[in-house]
Amino acid sequence: MVDGMYGAQPSPGPNTKKCSPTVQKQQQQQAENADGGAGKKKKKVTAAQLRVQRDLQELTLGSTMKMSFPNPDDILNFTLTIEPDEGMYKGGVFHFSFAVNQNFPHDPPKVKCTQKIYHPNIDLEGNVCLNILREDWKPVLNLNAVIVGMQFLFLEPNASDPLNKEAADDLRTNRDAFKRNVRSSMAGGSVRSVSYERVLR
Amino acid sequence: MADAFPAVLTGPSSKERRYDRQLRLWAATGQQALEDSRVLLVNSDGTFGPQSTGVAGVAGVEALKNLVLPGIGGITIVDPATVTEVDLGVNFFLEAESLGKSRAEETCRLLRELNPDVQGYAYSKPVSQLLQDPNFLAQHKLVIISGPTKRSTLQAVCQEAKNLGIPVLYTHSVGFYSMFSLQLPAEFPIVETHPDPESTQDLRLLNPWPELIAAGTALGDLSSMDDHQHGHVPYILLLLHFIEQWKQTHAGKPPSNYKEKTEFREFVRSQARTNTPEGGEENFDEAVGAVMKTISPFELRSSIREIFAMDQCQQLKPDSPDFWIIASAIHKFCEENKGLLPLPGSLPDMKAQSADYVSLQNIYKAKARRDVDEVTATVRQLETQIGRTAPIPEREIEVFCKNAADIKVVRGRHIPLLSEDSDAATTKTIRGGFALDDRLVAIYVAFEILDAVVSEVQSIADTENGGDQLRLPNIEDEELWTKHTDRILKVLARDTGTDIPPEQKDILEDAMWELRRTEGGELHNISALTGGLVAQEALKVLTQQYVPLDNTCVFDGARSQTAMYRL
Amino acid sequence: MSTIDPQARWTYLYKALSKNGPLTDEDWEFGPETIATLESSKILVIGAGGLGCEILKNLALSGFKDIHVIDMDTIDISNLNRQFLFRQADIGKPKAEVAAAFVEKRVKGVKITPYVGKIQDKDEDYYMQFKIIICGLDSIEARRWINSTLIAMVDMENPESLKPLVDGGTEGFKGQSRVILPTLSSCIECQLDMHAPRPAVPLCTIATIPRQPQHCIEWAYQIAWQEKRKDEPFDSDDLEHISWVYNAALERGEQFHIHGVTFQMTQGVVKNIIPAIASTNAVIAASTTSEVLKIAASCNPYLDNYMMYAGEEGVYTYTFQAEKKSDCPVCGNLARKMEVDPNVTLGDFIESLGERAEAQLKKPSMRTEEKTLYQRFPPQLEEQTRPNLQLKLRDLVADGQEIAVSDPAYTIDFRYRLNFK
């Protein structure tokens, strides 16, 4: 940033115009999409709504996932239900609330597990540790990417970077004991004196 | 980031709360420097013609506003003018009730309302009278002069400021254009330049010290680690480990050129485990990403070498500023440590277990501490040698060591005045700009012509004092413009022996056309923007943080562009 | 105060508006007409904070006489280092009102109308009254909202419906200003990827392997607070709340031997504080108001369309033309007018879309702002919206209302304004 930035910009570039067209003048040059009429008072579909409408349409849910919309007109808030058909969490029914704000897709959706479950990557408050929900979120990612990531958490719980440290330690040190803990927690039992919600189908 | 404020359970003081948003930039030390500074604004020194008070001085007033708000110690406004209706159309720090009163006093009063902690002084007389008191200028840490003004005044202030080592900002704002120059002392050192943290990581992977080597060796056999351990080895240790492996098959040499580094990077990548739930390992990703940036031998920047070679560093005197004593000690450190600088000691965040990260961080911190101690010992020796009694505070040496790789010395220049005395480098820069259709350099030249015209108008007014006011020329006098344009063009032709070609003269014509639209008058927006830029430079100079302008900036408000020139 | 002669007071401004320059348009009518246009232009300022205070001052001293300002915030002590229209005694009062009153008092003859509230409180009729809208905001969300609102207002048959948007933003020694001509030039949404995402640390790092003091702070307010004080909403302005988080973070730092948690850092992390200084605000605000003056008076070309500024090392700016994105979800596809029979069913309407010449929408999903009309996927929502297919358009949408349509066959979405036959 020292020498290169001295002096004026190399060329005046497209940013200077010899004359200063008025706004109206410019506008005459662009005549397409002509439109008029009533209805100005009605609110426009927001960018976030539009993006979610598209994202929903492009979802691939498979047989293990369902969504429900408490208010079908509000597509920014919904529940995702995952029923893993393989892996250690098979037989469970897991609910996640999705809250998408108006700053989507600049902001990621907020996802929380609504049940108290025993899982290394989900804490007792329902917080979910999934990279694309936080540090690796990019506006080009869509809801499908999130849902795929969520599903993966149940097939391959990740012990290496946990939110529930006890569960992760169990998974790491004794996989069989962890499996037993998953079964009993899903049935509404206690693990290490923490009681969990029954989530079996 | 500032971490100088002690944490208090009751929360920060009201002063800390008031200044919170700026303390996060220049910290308590920068704030203290500001509070210890008084700034002088020389706001007008003569007319633009009959019935004109000359410069409205809004750019300078706006600059003061931007210094009063962050809590500068004090301001002094020198301005012999009285408030007219014209002022009310451009200067926000005047009100209807100010009409007919001293502009200096009214502006000062309304500026002080912004911050009760700031002292304010106003003088309704020409600065030349005030300069007769040898203590006047010396009370200030910085001078801002509103141009255009007559050469004699400008030069008198600049010369005395130079003698006292006080920086000067000379500003202009006319119509849609503005420009300003910064005059710094011959050497202006900066320790805290605030470089981009991303660009300045000194991790010493190719110059590790014994403790760091030991930490790398202690890793042992990576393949015997379980997945959890393997996925949490800090990438710095991974790289150290793999560099050692590489050396064994490469005649003891680390990867040294682009091709080798690329190969090495692929090698690191291949060592990651992929049978993990995420299908990879974040610490290995970080290691791969860091290869190109961090696997390079430490090299002293040429700017630092130049600083070490300067007389001020080579020949210390009893009154040498702290900067040069510490620089000299670091030079010695560098010579005794195979060309290395003291280790900054900071470690970027990386995937790792808390305890492993903290212990690695401690290895870096401990080494940095030892380096500071070594430099401090040298500083103390130097202090004894030169017979200095008050020791340099430890904290200062520490900050210097942390920033050693990024220190800077700006070689101050005079306020550039285009004249027969201008140096060849200046005329060359300007001619080069003209040849490239650089419209901003033309604006600078147009301002120089305006300056010359105003200087002549004001000088005549001074000699005609009490005479026939209506006979005075004004700044719209075409003869004056032609005369000074021709003179400046001659200056620009002097060194090449060739005139500026006619097509290049057009850009000067255009610049003068635009400049003269308001007949020397200011537009508030342009002055406000300029006042922001000028204050920004003042803050950098007063806090001795960040890197100030070297030395002239032009703003083109018609094209929304700026440019910097060293003139 | 009628004693101030406007001709004398605005001497310099009037000169700039009464002479042409090398860059002014050849048929620009300078002089009294331009001056009258300028003085009658109604300007809206969004935000009365660091930029807003400067903007109000600058507009008032650029000859504008009818200025409106919106801001929902009240004055905080940490504003006083730059928001120069506010004093210690104003703390707690609404920014818009204090700022408006101050400038009105200082610059006689200017009228400034404050509105204390959100920009979303206002509808198109409100925004339609202004000639130019100028933003000094710190929220991306608010910028996106006003951007899409102004774009939706554009009616090509009515030139007055196009409201230039001039936007400024700062962070420390850096900033940018930009001019947006809704639908004609690159918009805020087109430029969204120029906003750096807020850096985030993985939740699991915060939960289990903290390494930095910031991780300890995030743990304290994201995890510890939830566990220990679940029922109290966290308020970042409540000193007791911040102190609690600070102490929890300190404790966690000790536990992991992590040093450097400070109160100041705690506030910074929790409130996502962005450093702000008067000088940068002055530069960016003046740059934006200068563009407003040029747009309103045509006295020089306006910025086309982006200027970035960095002041850490000397004075650096870069002026360039940000690109208009053809697939921009906001300005890429403007609402088209469509004549519809209000008595057809939604099902028949959807079928007719598949037969349209310009875009054959075979599998569309669609909605209005308040209603999901038909969503093809996921199945649960399809089931919930299927009954709408039997309903008549008149029962689902209002005359002139806009619907947004997505179809997997197109990467871009469509907007139609349905006008009843």
CATH number, domain containing residue C266: 1.10.10.520
B301–A contact, CB cutoff 8 A: no
Question: Which of A166-180, B482-496, C84-98 has maximum average pLDDT?
Answer: C84-98
What averages of pLDDT result for each successive group of 10 residues across chain C (421 residues)? 80 94 91 94 97 98 98 96 97 98 97 97 95 95 93 90 97 97 95 80 92 97 90 90 96 97 95 95 98 96 96 97 91 88 95 81 92 94 96 94 91 89 88
- Please tell me the distance in Å from A29's CA to the nearest CA on chain C: 9
Partner residue opposite A159 with nearest CB, options B228, B439, B565 = B228
Chain A hits for C365, Cβ within 8 Å: 53-54, 56-57
Higher-scoring residue by pLDDT: B518, A15: B518
Mean pLDDT of chain B: 93
* Angstrom distance (rounded) from CA C268 to CA B21: 9
Partner residue opposite C329 with nearest CB, options A35, A47, A103 = A47
Q: Which residues contact C358 (CB under 8 A, 6 or more apart)?
A: none
Cβ within 8 Å, pair A8-B566: no
Nearest CA in chain A to C339: A37
Assigned superfamily of B22-186+419-567: NAD(P)-binding Rossmann-like Domain (3.40.50.720)
Q: State yes or no: pLDDT of B46 exceeds 90.
A: no
* C315 domain residue, yes or no: yes
* Angstrom distance (rounded) from CA B512 to CA B514: 5
Q: Which of B5-14, B468-477, B535-544, C371-380 has the lowest mean pLDDT?
A: B5-14
Q: State yes or no: pLDDT of A3 exceeds 90.
A: no
- Confidence band, pLDDT 50/70/90 cuts, at residue A35: very low
A60–C contact, CB cutoff 8 A: no
End-to-end CA distance of chain A: 62
Higher-scoring residue by pLDDT: C156, B446: B446
Chain C hits for A27, Cβ within 8 Å: 156, 159, 162, 181, 184
Query: pTM for this structure?
Result: 0.92
Q: State yes or no: pLDDT of B95 exceeds 50.
A: yes
- Please tell me the distance in Å from C166's CA to the nearest CA on chain A: 13
Q: What is the pLDDT of residues B324-343, one digit of tens each?
A: 999 999 999 999 999 999 99
The widest CA-to-CA distance across chain B, in whole angstroms, is 99
Whether residue C44 sits in one domain with residue C117: yes
pLDDT of residue B466: 54
pLDDT of residue B465: 61
- pLDDT over 70, % of chain B: 96
pLDDT of residue B298: 84
Whether residue C301 sits in one domain with residue C259: no
pLDDT of residue A34: 38
* C329 domain residue, yes or no: no
Q: Which of A145-154, B291-300, B528-537, C113-122 has the lowest mean pLDDT?
A: B291-300
C200–A contact, CB cutoff 8 A: yes
Higher-scoring residue by pLDDT: C2, B225: B225
Q: Which of B269-283, B435-449, B512-526 has the lowest mean pLDDT?
A: B269-283
Q: Give the 3-state secondary structure of residue B516.
A: helix
Chain A hits for C208, Cβ within 8 Å: 161-163, 165, 168
For residues B308-331, average pLDDT: 96
Cβ within 8 Å, pair A9-B561: yes
Total domains, chain C: 3
End-to-end CA distance of chain C: 57
Domain ranges of chain B: 22-186+419-567, 203-294, 302-410
Nearest CA in chain B to A169: B228
* Tokens describing residue A41: 């008072």
- Confidence band, pLDDT 50/70/90 cuts, at residue A13: very low
pLDDT of residue B468: 61
Partner residue opposite A73 with nearest CB, options C144, C371, C404 = C371
User: A50 near C189, Cβ under 8 Å?
Assistant: no
Cβ within 8 Å, pair C305-A51: no
Chain C hits for B27, Cβ within 8 Å: none
For residues B398-404, average pLDDT: 96
For residues B244-265, average pLDDT: 94
Whether residue C388 sits in one domain with residue C312: no
Whether residue C377 sits in one domain with residue C242: no
- Please tell me the distance in Å from B223's CA to the nearest CA on chain C: 23
User: A121 near A149, Cβ under 8 Å?
Assistant: no
> Cα-atom radius of gyration of chain C, to the nearest Å?
26
* Angstrom distance (rounded) from CA B25 to CA B31: 10
Chain A hits for B433, Cβ within 8 Å: 7-8
Among C187, C204, C299, C331, which one carries the catalytic annotation?
Answer: C204
pLDDT of residue A43: 78
Torsion of CA C124, C128, C130, C132, to 10 degrees: 80
* Angstrom distance (rounded) from CA C332 to CA C412: 8
* C286 domain residue, yes or no: yes
Asked if C204 is an active-site residue, the reply is yes
Whether residue C344 sits in one domain with residue C378: yes
* Tokens describing residue C19: 């002479």
- pLDDT over 90, % of chain B: 84
| Burial class of residue A24 (count of CB atoms within 10 Å of its CB; 0-12, 13-18, 19+) | exposed
For residues A64-71, average pLDDT: 95
* Angstrom distance (rounded) from CA C415 to CA C421: 18
Whether residue C165 sits in one domain with residue C251: no
Chain B hits for C196, Cβ within 8 Å: none
Among A56, A67, A76, A129, which one carries the catalytic annotation?
Answer: A129
User: B178 near B527, Cβ under 8 Å?
Assistant: yes
B3–A contact, CB cutoff 8 A: no
* Angstrom distance (rounded) from CA C299 to CA C14: 11
- Tell me the backbone φ, ψ of residue B39, rounded to 5 degrees: -115, 135
Q: Write the CATH number for C143.
A: 3.40.50.720
Domain ranges of chain A: 47-195
pLDDT of residue A23: 57
* C325 domain residue, yes or no: no
Whether residue C47 sits in one domain with residue C150: yes
Whether residue C236 sits in one domain with residue C109: no
pLDDT of residue C119: 96
pLDDT of residue A42: 66
Torsion of CA B86, B92, B93, B98, to 10 degrees: 40
Neighbours of chain A (3+ CB pairs under 8 A): B, C
* C37 domain residue, yes or no: yes
pLDDT of residue B464: 66
Neighbours of chain C (3+ CB pairs under 8 A): A, B
3.40.605.10, 3.10.110.10, 3.30.70.240, 3.10.20.600: which CATH number matches A47-195? 3.10.110.10
Whether residue C302 sits in one domain with residue C187: yes
pLDDT of residue B9: 53
- Confidence band, pLDDT 50/70/90 cuts, at residue A40: very low
Chain B hits for C317, Cβ within 8 Å: 561-562
ipTM of the complex: 0.94
Best A156, A158, A160 residue to mutate vs chain B (most B CBs within 10 Å): A160
Question: Could you tell me the residue range of the domain that residue C352 belongs to?
Answer: 336-420
